[in-house]
């Protein structure tokens, strides 16, 4: 039985527009883009605008007519997440994590080593990461990278005591047809951040050391809507770098009693799935386990980080397609929402996200969010079947969960090559020295 969902007010920014609606579509688009470009941080005055009737949602290429509409849609359709009862590593805020990290410069190779500590614990924040990124970009580093490291293992648990105060981070994009340039969809990445990714047990019971374990874990679920934000077309549940990601059309999306999408977080690995139970993976050796009996992460805050939280026009990305069947339902918070579904809807706010400018790693393997494919482009079009998840983990065309391992191999090869070059250099120096000695001896003998 699903847990009851608490009512809470939606926090939005009141914004009036002096722009008159023109009759032509071009004029309407121009007015909308002008308003989005002037977007500022919202206040906290509730004003949940609704239409008087549940009218047919438009599928035109227009964006939501006002910034307030867009903000309402983002916050009101934020997913509710179920965690597994055995989960030990919980979500946390980015700020909480950074305060407990140090920023290191790491030398690549078979034996990674810390070249220097750029920022110590207590010194890391969005501003310092931005400075470090500028410094790193100006250096001739070839075989090194920056890494955020959680120093105290006791902090790996995250913030379980403040679960619903931990926000979901949202990133919105305009999806356009690459041939015509017309808008085809509005996509919202709902990003969840956890301090640590736990290790796996093979076949569910065989300990495998630190297999899969690493600091910092960025995961996400993507909502795909009509361009005007009035209709939900489907949800993409991402898991393991898209390796096990699946699309669910609107009619198949599990929803709470209040109408918000539901997602189940796998224990330790934190991938998102539309169902509770056992998700078979990789020859049944690394199955994911989800449940609807654990803690419910029903966040009170949805922090919008598009354009680093500074607002402005939504970024445009090329449509890559999706496995959706064309069904839809009225998006909560849009003008097509009649208000018949009442329930908790998170507060909306804009987050100053300077940490998005940081291009180094979060932990040993996780790339910066802004460098990940799903953030910079439209959502992955590939939906994985049960058979592919079990028998074809290395199928081409999608990212592989073995990328970190392959990266380690590449670093090892680079290290071996570097060591070989060093040995060759020493041999050349020794040969040059012996040659000079012989030449000196020959010249001395002639005298």
Tens-digit pLDDT profile for residues 205-226: 677 767 778 899 999 999 999 9
**What is each CA distance from 44 to 66, 70, 72, in whole angstroms?**
17, 16, 13
Where is pLDDT greater, at 285 or 364? Answer: 364
Which helix (H) or strand (E) element contains residue 96? helix 94-98
Paired residues of 176 in beta bridges: 183, 318
261 has pLDDT over 70: yes
Task: Confirm if 96 and 161 have CB atoms less than 8 A apart.
Answer: no
Per-residue pLDDT for 447 more than 70? no
Instruction: Please state the separation of Cα 119 from the chain's center in Å.
Output: 24
Dihedral sign computed on CA atoms, order 392, 394, 400, 405: positive
Return the pLDDT at 350.
82
pLDDT of residue 30: 53
pLDDT digits (tens, 9 = 90+) for 21-78: 344 444 544 544 454 444 433 333 222 222 222 333 445 567 776 777 888 899 999 9
> Please, what sign has the CA dihedral across residues 118, 122, 125, 131?
negative
H/E run at residue 44: none
Provide the pLDDT for residue 369.
92
Distance CA 98, CA 113 (A): 21
Q: Strands of 113-167 (E only): list them.
A: 113-119, 144-150
Range in 46-50, 133-137, 169-173, 281-285 the model is least confident about = 46-50
Residue with the two structure tokens 């995250």: 158
By mean pLDDT, which of 4-13, 157-166, 286-295 is the weakest? 4-13
Q: How confident is the model at residue 365 (pLDDT cuts 50, 70, 90)?
A: confident
CB atoms within 10 A of CB 168: 26
Tokens of 36: 């989005």
**What pLDDT is stored for residue 19 in this prediction?**
40
Return the H-helix or E-strand segment holding 388: helix 386-391
Residue 254, pLDDT > 70, answer yes
Cα angle: 16, vertex 328, 190; to 5 degrees: 65
pLDDT digits (tens, 9 = 90+) for 375-396: 999 998 878 777 777 776 654 4
d(CA 365, CA 218) in angstroms, rounded, equals: 11
CA distance 435 to 221: 66
Q: Determine contact, residues 166/92, Cβ cutoff 8 Å.
A: yes
pLDDT at 172: 94
Q: How many CA atoms lie within 13 A of 323 on its CB side?
A: 13
Range 115-135 average pLDDT: 94
Say if residue 340 is exposed, middle or buried (CB neighbours under 10 Å; 0-12, 13-18, 19+): exposed
Mean pLDDT, the chain, rounded, equals 80
Q: How many residues does the chain have?
A: 447
The H-or-E segment that residue 207 falls in is strand 206-207
Q: Which residue has the tokens 């910034």?
A: 67
Comparison of pLDDT for 204 and 297, the residue scoring more: 297
What percent of the chain has a predicted confidence (pLDDT) above 70? 75
């Amino acid at each position: 039985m699903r847990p009851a969902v608490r009512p809470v007010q939606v926090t939005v920014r009141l914004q009036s527009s002096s722009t008159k609606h023109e009759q032509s579509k071009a004029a309407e688009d121009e007015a909308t883009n002008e308003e989005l470009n002037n977007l500022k941080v919202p206040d906290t005055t509730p004003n949940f605008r609704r239409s008087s009737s549940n009218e047919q949602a438009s599928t035109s290429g227009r964006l939501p007519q006002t910034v307030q509409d867009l903000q309402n849609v983002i916050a009101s359709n934020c997913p509710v997440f179920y965690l597994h009862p055995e989960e030990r590593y919980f979500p946390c805020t980015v700020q909480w994590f950074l305060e407990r990290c140090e920023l290191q410069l790491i030398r690549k190779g078979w034996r990674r080593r810390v070249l220097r500590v750029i920022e110590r614990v207590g010194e890391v924040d969005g501003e310092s990461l931005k400075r470090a990124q500028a410094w790193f970009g100006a250096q001739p580093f070839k075989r090194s990278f920056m890494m955020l490291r959680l120093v105290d293992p006791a902090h790996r648990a995250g913030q379980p005591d403040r679960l619903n105060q931990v926000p979901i981070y949202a990133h919105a994009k305009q999806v356009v047809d690459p041939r015509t340039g017309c808008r085809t969809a509005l996509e919202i990445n709902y990003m969840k951040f956890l301090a640590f990714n736990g290790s796996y047990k093979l076949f569910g019971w065989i300990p495998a050391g630190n297999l899969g374990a690493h600091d910092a874990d960025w995961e996400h679920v993507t909502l795909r809507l009509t361009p005007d934000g009035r209709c939900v077309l489907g949800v993409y549940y991402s898991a393991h770098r898209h390796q096990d990601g699946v699309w669910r059309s609107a009619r198949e999306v599990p929803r709470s009693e209040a109408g918000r999408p539901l997602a189940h977080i796998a224990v330790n690995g934190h991938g998102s799935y539309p169902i509770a139970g056992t998700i078979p993976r990789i020859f049944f050796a690394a199955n994911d386990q989800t449940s609807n009996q654990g803690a419910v992460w029903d966040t009170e805050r949805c922090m919008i980080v598009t354009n680093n939280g500074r607002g402005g026009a939504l970024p445009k990305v090329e449509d890559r397609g999706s496995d959706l069947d064309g069904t839809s339902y009225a998006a909560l918070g849009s003008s097509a929402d009649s208000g018949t579904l009442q329930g908790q809807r998170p507060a909306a706010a804009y987050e100053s996200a300077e940490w998005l400018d940081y291009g180094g790693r979060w932990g040993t393997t996780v790339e910066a969010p802004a460098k990940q494919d799903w953030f910079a482009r439209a959502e992955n079009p590939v939906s994985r079947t049960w058979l592919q998840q079990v028998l074809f983990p290395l199928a081409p065309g999608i990212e592989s969960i073995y990328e970190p391992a392959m990266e380690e191999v590449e670093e090892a090869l680079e290290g071996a090559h570097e060591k070989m070059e060093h040995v060759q250099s020493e041999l050349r120096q020794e040969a040059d020295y012996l040659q000079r000695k012989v030449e000196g001896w020959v010249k001395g003998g002639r005298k």
